Structure 1
């Protein structure tokens, strides 16, 4: 058991050192899960930062963005850092934002309050409480406080931690917006902000912030006080993630995966680490690679390869990536088809498609909002391609009195005379079209760069989340901007299911699809 220094002068010197207070194990205690026979019982241990936590403390910046594997203890670390800061600095407001009320209660009780209650008695007596509630500790000796809540808007917050922001963005987009517009601006430039999470799909504020911070990190440009420092912590960096290799059979494909990661990340994943990863994937996630990528990422990009539960095309996009279907797809000297969705919220999305020997190849994607049809026609003309067939959704045939009693199809025919437009029949049940999309995604190829935004839309197309029942319901969530892109891809699948795509290929004159050369573009 680590003891406090017995000499008063030495104790005063130690307490004046923030590193000693956090690293020595003398002040703060934490609860950890037991192992083996004691797995169901929590154990009380002196806190000493682990490798990932020490690395984070060394790289701490004014604004910090953490993308991480599970169970590395960052929420525990930051709760103790904020508590420590409040105890030893006057008039400071320290806050932790959690995803829901249950998480608020757990974090406050098991991390903040537990650490305070278990301070050495002679130390705790120096820091009496002025206010003690279920979510906040306010100290009477210096008027500083630590609070846990689902949002924080009032006043200045000198230290702010947003826990599992990816989950907040995925399940509570309005709350995420409130964090962005209310809580984050409350942190002054001389304060410290930490946002951390595991990945939750390729949409939402967390994904956008990670992409921006990662880009800044890769550019090696100096950070301003308003820039986020990017912190990534892979599972293979955690020493405890290992099992005896002799106990876990590993397939050739799994070894090839680890070899690929070693080359990409310039690391070594030893046999015991590989055994832990494979055993965890099989036992905890039923062998689902996409769940491991999300919860225990090996690379920053891998963390976002899959959206979370509730995404319509989650497994299909994983399978498409694994097959190599998202790759470089060059534009060939062949007609280009378009598949449209014209949204009710003034949004429009188009996929650009070619077909070679029955192979569906998507070479581009475009979307915009608040523009009329002339804008999209101008964009089509700017591409410089020869177009085959434009596939429109069923409502494009409806006449609109506000548009001189002309349908969208008729307006496009007037703007693009001589081009071919067809209407894709409506399906009576949305899920029928989704099933068709899943079916035909298995064999298509999508250009990774030209369709980058469209891929994000497919991976972000998700069900609505019912907060009252705490579950996803089988109805598309149109709040994240992904529905138009996903629906325009669905027009392709529905048209293909009816034979309309192959028919359009045959209608195009002057092109021999069967005789066109097939370049080696999948390399």
Structure 2
């Protein structure tokens, strides 16, 4: 949609024919400022020239801002919005869906919110408010047949708009999923329901908008963004089932500015903004300059709202797409540690050396098994590979190890690998592996009584770790996605791992390395920079 109606506050036509012509024009309805009103926080106001100025009004005519206009111009059948905070996309979609329902018969429009409270607020303050504040003569033309706490059904054309936490039944012609990243992080079951139930309910000639700030490198939202970004980079011709990526950085928002004379900015902070300008050119093709007032706003916001949590600033106000996913969610065990690891170059190319390879295992209680491949040289812990599988027996993993062609040093197994299993064989995992890999060295890493102790050991020793970004890609994903379980009743993260996202085995296998290192077990099988032919001690005694 172009901007023929960018000047706000046009009077509502009094001539019936002219009014009918205007109401038939979607651009006029959305861009004239005549039909829809919205509630704002009171610190921003749109002046008669369409620019933002200071003000204290809490009700304003709806006029799409710069980011919203960009989105409308690129609107596709399926859309992914990765964005900075407070750009008004939920407001835009609420107005857009309401407009579609009012002026098109037999349409079902829906908004999925992350929780019941959010759904209630969106419906009350965005959907119902916009409808009830239509000009009186317009609202009289569009009476409701049904009204309840989450839905409006219109009498004149049988269309409806609804806000809820889930939508599965029937066809949904317009669907918006708000803060999908947060849904994926806190409510993986609900995210699965959205993907398997709600999204398929949108026909190919409908419109789907999934919008969120980033929430780590796990979950459906992250996967969708990765695929959409790859399609964009390859300039793939999109089908109606492909997602179009829309990214909106904080520096693209005009109101994110402060007087630079009031905010001191360090050289390190200036270097960050200089880096952003380079990355925006390389990854987005945009030749930008972040001016002093923009830099001042960013620094002041980071210091005031996210002091000591730089990764939160990246999540809420990303400068470029990859930065948004540089962090994990609030409940992730290794969020800051993985950021520090990446910053110091700990994730990159780590080639295998002509040294023996150690393995660190976790064998899940269900059907998963994870293995890290490790070498040590001059104090560096070099992880050259990672493997995981599900539903396989030990012979599968042994075949995988043999296929690597490595000379192995020591295989470090979790404490329960020494337990005899009540089965036909009545043997432990360690004993079965020793039969399958005769001549190899196996040791048991002792049990720790508190998981948090092992977490702290990982954090302590991660400073010496180097992970191959390709061969360990899945393992890195597991570390960055390893999170605490979210207690819905208390609305907080617990100190127990969330095993629903599949990251526990990979993270627990990595923890075997840190625990072994903490106990000096690696020193016993490596001396200085070479491995000596000596059987490892029996750590069970």
Q: Work out whether the TM-score is over 0.5.
A: yes
Structure 1 residues 207, 149: CA separation in 2 closer, same or farther (over 3 Å shift)? same
Moved more, 101-110 or 328-337: 328-337
Q: 1:313 aligns with which of 330, 334, 342?
A: 334
- Tell me what 1:344 maps to: 365
Q: 1:191 aligns with which of 174, 188, 206?
A: 206
**Deviation at residue 443 of structure 1 after TM alignment:** 2.5
Q: Is residue 273 of structure 1 aligned with residue 294 of structure 2?
A: yes
Q: What is the CA–CA distance in structure 1 between the aligned matches of 2:165 and 2:386, rounded to whole Å?
A: 37
- Tell me what 2:225 maps to: 210
SS at match of 1:311: coil
Q: 2:379 aligns with which of 351, 354, 358?
A: 358
- Tell me what 2:188 maps to: 173
- Tell me what 2:27 maps to: 19
Show CA shifts across 1:4-31 (max 9, x none). 1232222211111111111111111111
- Tell me what 2:505 maps to: 484
Contact 2:153–2:161 (CA<8 Å) still a contact in 1?
yes
Q: What is the CA–CA distance in structure 2 between the aligned matches of 1:321 and 1:440, rounded to whole Å?
A: 15
Contact 2:362–2:413 (CA<8 Å) still a contact in 1?
yes
Q: What is the CA–CA distance in structure 2 between the aligned matches of 1:60 and 1:464, rounded to whole Å?
A: 36
Moved more, 263-272 or 191-200: 263-272
Contact 2:44–2:56 (CA<8 Å) still a contact in 1?
no
SS at match of 1:26: coil
Contact 1:203–1:456 (CA<8 Å) still a contact in 2?
yes
Show CA shifts across 1:239-287 (max 9, x none). 1111122211112221121111111111321221111111111001114
Q: Is residue 226 of structure 1 aligned with residue 265 of structure 2?
A: no
Q: Map of 1:80-479 to 2, 5 A cutoff?
A: 80-266=95-281, 267-402=288-423, 404-479=425-500
Contact 1:200–1:307 (CA<8 Å) still a contact in 2?
yes
Q: What is the CA–CA distance in structure 1 between the aligned matches of 2:526 and 2:473, rounded to whole Å?
A: 25
**Deviation at residue 400 of structure 1 after TM alignment:** 1.7
Contact 2:379–2:464 (CA<8 Å) still a contact in 1?
no
Contact 2:525–2:532 (CA<8 Å) still a contact in 1?
no
- Tell me what 1:519 maps to: none
SS at match of 1:455: helix
Contact 1:358–1:502 (CA<8 Å) still a contact in 2?
no
**Deviation at residue 295 of structure 1 after TM alignment:** 0.5
Q: What is the CA–CA distance in structure 2 between the aligned matches of 1:177 and 1:85, rounded to whole Å?
A: 28
Contact 1:234–1:296 (CA<8 Å) still a contact in 2?
yes
Contact 1:33–1:39 (CA<8 Å) still a contact in 2?
no
SS at match of 1:329: coil
Q: 2:515 aligns with which of 494, 504, 520?
A: 494
SS at match of 1:225: coil
Show CA shifts across 1:379-422 (max 9, x none). 11111222111111011111123251221111111111111111
Structure-2-length-normalised TM-score: 0.92
Show CA shifts across 1:466-518 (max 9, x none). 1111111111111110000110010000000000112111383379xxxxxxx
Moved more, 135-144 or 249-258: 249-258
SS at match of 2:92: helix
Contact 2:106–2:158 (CA<8 Å) still a contact in 1?
yes
Q: Is residue 66 of structure 1 aligned with residue 67 of structure 2?
A: no
Q: What is the CA–CA distance in structure 1 between the aligned matches of 2:497 and 2:397, rounded to whole Å?
A: 25
**Deviation at residue 327 of structure 1 after TM alignment:** 2.0
How many residue pairs match? The answer is 511
Q: 2:17 aligns with which of 3, 9, 14?
A: 9
Q: What is the CA–CA distance in structure 2 between the aligned matches of 1:89 and 1:418, rounded to whole Å?
A: 74
Structure 1 residues 146, 420: CA separation in 2 closer, same or farther (over 3 Å shift)? same
Q: What is the CA–CA distance in structure 1 between the aligned matches of 2:348 and 2:243, rounded to whole Å?
A: 30
- Tell me what 1:518 maps to: none
**Deviation at residue 85 of structure 1 after TM alignment:** 0.2
**Deviation at residue 359 of structure 1 after TM alignment:** 1.2
Contact 1:99–1:165 (CA<8 Å) still a contact in 2?
yes
Q: Is residue 508 of structure 1 aligned with residue 516 of structure 2?
A: no
Task: Give 5+ residue unaligned stretches, structure 1.
Answer: 512-523
SS at match of 1:353: strand
**Deviation at residue 377 of structure 1 after TM alignment:** 1.2
Q: What is the CA–CA distance in structure 2 between the aligned matches of 1:474 and 1:509, rounded to whole Å?
A: 40
Structure 1 residues 40, 239: CA separation in 2 closer, same or farther (over 3 Å shift)? closer
Q: What is the CA–CA distance in structure 1 between the aligned matches of 2:117 and 2:220, rounded to whole Å?
A: 23
Show CA shifts across 1:322-380 (max 9, x none). 22222221221111111000001110011111111111111111111011111111111
Q: Is residue 45 of structure 1 aligned with residue 68 of structure 2?
A: no
